[in-house]
Structure 1
Amino acid sequence: MTQGKGTGTSKSKSRVYHVTKYGADPTGKNDSTEALLKAISDAMKDPGGRFLISRIADVGGARIDLDGGDYLISSPLRFPMAGVGNVVIHGGTLRASANFPADGYLIELSSAKINKSETHKSIRDRLEKQPYSYEYITLRDLMVDSNFRGGGISVTNSLRTSIDNCYISHYTTEGILVQGGHETYIRNSYLGQHINAGGDPGEHNFSGTAISLIGNDNAVTDVVIFSASIGIFISGQANVITGVHCYNKATMLGGTGIYLEFTGLTQTRIVNSYFDFTGIVAEDPVQVHITNNFFLGDAFILLKSINGVIKGVNIVDNMFSGSGQGIEIVQLEGEFKKIDQVVVDRNNVNDMKIRSTVARGVVQGKGSSWTVDFNSTLLFPNLTKNVQYTLSTSDGLFPMHALRSTSDNKVVIESSMATQVSISVVVDQGR
């Protein structure tokens, strides 16, 4: 490979491309778009016959080094071609200029312009039929400032992409948009439309989405989202969220920490995360696991009926802490007609109203009929799938007894004669 002046490479054929050698201005005073695009284009050139997955040329770990600079750009840094992999962009700041297109993203890991008018289902279906465009692209150690001119980073139909140690701010659409592909991992990063540390007086005006995952098999790990209308939007299957701190916009102001769109099969796990005044919304959830999370400031989980289906949902071992306003920890919107294998249990609650699919009650007294009302605890109305009870007497009598009714979440037990009893009842809506 012949090296020319200004290519950013040496005669030793180094695969490190220093953008300042292409004329990029690290002070941020002058537009560096063309210089950055030239560096990216050179880094994408195939060094010779190696491949990752089929049709993805392995360019050998080429690194586009931002040299710790602060660069002004006026149009998206869109990858010039599909079919490449094993590339790193790292080590500097990208800022959108005042004339940056409002529908663009500062980095577009896509060989074509994004069509924002498509439905999420259409995007998923279309991209699943196409070969992957990129593999093993790494974006790390970057500050991405959208200057309220569109989004930060978009990743389309890419395989095994990493976004690591990035700070993405001032977006109006999405901080990070992932469409199609597989296994985009977003780690150790910070996202906020407005830079703050909570209690921002303009919080009611926060908009946009910090991370949007329109696809399957992605992970968001150890990420802080401090400003957005929606923290993480998910439309796809088998995604995992862990170690995330969402204080993007309080629920009372219309914000959502994580929103799971109806996709037929949700298959998402949300674990070990912190929902700080903002909660979770799940549409028709099917196979969802929400566990070991902390919900602060009356943050709650909303299960939203679209087609009336909820199946295979575990909401267990979480902590909820509120303000004593009687906010329920898990809430329903709309009517669920098909309910199967839903477990809401073992959550500890402070100054909020517990909701569960498992409830326990005790009734004592003399009589021949006893009622235990579980409506204050059970999540679903008029649904009792399993009842266990123990009846003990204290007056030496041993009457016959039976479960007579479970309608309206009230358990009615009757005996053949009046007697002094203590009855313990356990009901379960999830089996």
Structure 2
Amino acid sequence: MANAALFWTSILVVLATAFFTVSVLGDHSPIAHFSSGRHRDHIRKMQAFKASLVRHDSVPPAPSPSSAPQPPQGTRNPRVYRVTSYGADPTGKTDSTAAILGALSAALKGPSEGFLMKGITNLGGVQVHLEGGNYLISQALRLPASGVGNLMIHGGTLRASDDFPTDRYLIELSPSSSTSKSQENNETSMDQPQLSSASYNYEYITLKDLMLDSNHRGGGISVVNSLRVSIDNCYVVHFTTTGIAVQSGHETYIRNSFLGQHITAGGDPGERNFSGTAINLMGNDNALTDVVIFSAAVGVMISGQANILSGVHCYNKATGFGGTGIYLKLPGLTQTRIVNSYLDYTGIVAEDPVQLHISNSFFLGDAYIVLKSINGVVNGVNIVDNMFSGSGKGLGIVQLDQSNGAFKNIDQVVVDRNNVRGMGLKATVARGSIQGNGSSWTLDFNPVLLFPNLIKHVQYSLSASDGAFPNHVLRNVSENRVIVASDVAVSGSLYAMVDQGMAG
């Protein structure tokens, strides 16, 4: 294309030169009969032809700055409050608490965009930016007012000072403990946003791309009675109490995050001394997705219903050292789903589980599931399609803790379709067969069945190999043994399937 443009440009130059040469020969030349107007028309046509070649065969020139699109008049820049503008020290050498609180206060005083939930002021996506700095703080960072939403805090590291209170969290989404909600609503001023009379403290607060170092003095993040909070890509370490605590409220989502009391990648010589809880969910309808917990006594503690855990990897403290990966502490109303997760040398404990689903997860290093009796209730439990890998000690993949009393109310419990290597298979559904010659046939399902002395449903067939047609009957299912008797001795096989979880 470039060669073609050069060719036609050369032709045009030759033609233009010839034209102007002929046009000045004088009145005796035939060209002299052209009028000046027609002469100008020919010039314009030739220029247009040349311009068309340039447009098609070359790259158009960049627009001049004056022709570049301009933003609409009156458009505001995004409201981003940079903490260094308020005096925060990004080197972490001096205390930045007051400066960061100043940036938070300024962010809440900016223009609003109406309301989210009733009584929750929409801050319009305002951001408090930590600018990739490392900030030392000596007090909890608590929003100066409740009743606000649509705010993001992101992009840096917060580290507790050596005198940080041991009973507080680096970031606290909760109203002032010294002021009741009703007092707050009556004590607003021109310098402080209107506080909420709604049932939630905050809505749509995002904490993102943060490293929180509690310096072994307290916790990382506390979310109290808030709605639709997002904790995304956070790294919470060196907590002594709780890494992330969620109390009451609704729909806190914790994702793509890492938590550990001590920074390790397994096999830590101090593992026996790990303490604290990485995540404590004391509310409903929350979600943990793609979260790693690498050190703590308890990985996840749950005491609210309708929570979901997916892609959670717990290797916080081995079960053999007294640790628990996931502890479900809501007897009688569990309503929790644990899917596609990885319990790495540390297992799951569920107190009186009611509506609990555990599936498609991997249990490594003799990790197992414990159903713990509080009031003797286990109802609506599915433990299916998981993988268990152990060391050959014969530990059961699901175990019962009946130290507080036996399970008495057992219904709709399915433990089945799990594959096991180096551990003892336990299930609520079992199949077996036996061959022999006689009038009494016994199949013992104790090695497999989870609950002692409990068979709710039996299907069996007796096949006589000598062509006989004896009368036979199911005589007994006590002690997890199926006993079938025939009226005459026969040679054959007994096949049976038993179910502990479903009646009828």
| TM-score, normalised relative to structure 1 | 0.93
Instruction: Note the C-alpha offset of 1:49.
Output: 5.7
Q: Deviations over 1:27-72 (max 9, x none)?
A: 0000000000111111112514600011000011000000100000
> Which residue of structure 1 aligns with residue 53 of structure 2?
none
Structure 2 runs not aligned, ≥5 long: 1-74, 179-196
Amino acid across the alignment from 1:86: N
1:419 paired with 2:490, answer yes
1:186 paired with 2:254, answer yes
Structure 1 runs not aligned, ≥5 long: 1-10, 115-128
1:28 paired with 2:96, answer no
Instruction: Note the C-alpha offset of 1:264.
Output: 2.8
1:110 paired with 2:174, answer yes
Instruction: Note the C-alpha offset of 1:14.
Output: 4.2
Q: Is this contact kept in 1: 2:112–2:124, CA < 8 A?
A: no
Compare the two structures and name the one with the higher helix fraction.
2
Instruction: Note the C-alpha offset of 1:272.
Output: 0.2
Q: Which has the higher contact order (CA 8 A, sep 6+)?
A: 1
Instruction: Give the structure with higher Rg (CA).
Output: 2
Q: CA RMSD in A?
A: 1.5
Q: Deviations over 1:347-400 (max 9, x none)?
A: 000000011000111110100001101111000011000000111111111101
Q: Is this contact kept in 2: 1:46–1:57, CA < 8 A?
A: no
Q: Is this contact kept in 1: 2:366–2:395, CA < 8 A?
A: yes
> Which residue of structure 1 aligns with residue 147 of structure 2?
83
Amino acid across the alignment from 1:94: L
Amino acid across the alignment from 1:251: T
> Which residue of structure 1 aligns with residue 461 of structure 2?
390
CA distance in 1, matches of 2:163, 2:217: 8
Map 1:370-381 onto structure 2 (within 5 A): 370-381=441-452
Q: Is this contact kept in 1: 2:431–2:497, CA < 8 A?
A: yes
Residue in structure 2 matching 1:402, options 473, 477, 489: 473
| TM-score, normalised relative to structure 2 | 0.80
> Which residue of structure 2 aligns with residue 159 of structure 1?
227
1:267 paired with 2:330, answer no
Amino acid across the alignment from 2:478: S
CA distance in 2, matches of 1:162, 1:294: 27
CA distance in 2, matches of 1:216, 1:130: 18
Instruction: Note the C-alpha offset of 1:311.
Output: 0.3
Percent identity, please.
Answer: 68
Q: Which runs of 4+ in 1 moved over 4 A?
A: 11-14
CA distance in 1, matches of 2:116, 2:220: 27
> Which residue of structure 2 aligns with residue 356 of structure 1?
427
CA distance in 2, matches of 1:329, 1:309: 20
Q: Deviations over 1:246-293 (max 9, x none)?
A: 000000000000000024311000000000000000000000000000
CA distance in 1, matches of 2:122, 2:247: 22
Aligned length: 408
CA distance in 2, matches of 1:13, 1:386: 69
1:94 paired with 2:162, answer no
> Which residue of structure 2 aligns with residue 132 of structure 1?
200
Amino acid across the alignment from 2:166: A
Instruction: Note the C-alpha offset of 1:12.
Output: 4.9
- Using a 3 Å threshold, how does the CA distance of structure 1 residues 148 and 260 change in structure 2: closer, same or farther? same
Q: Is this contact kept in 1: 2:284–2:304, CA < 8 A?
A: yes
Instruction: Note the C-alpha offset of 1:88.
Output: 0.2
CA distance in 2, matches of 1:210, 1:217: 19
> Which residue of structure 2 aligns with residue 5 of structure 1?
none
Amino acid across the alignment from 2:107: A
CA distance in 2, matches of 1:21, 1:199: 43
Q: Deviations over 1:218-248 (max 9, x none)?
A: 0000000000000000001000000010000
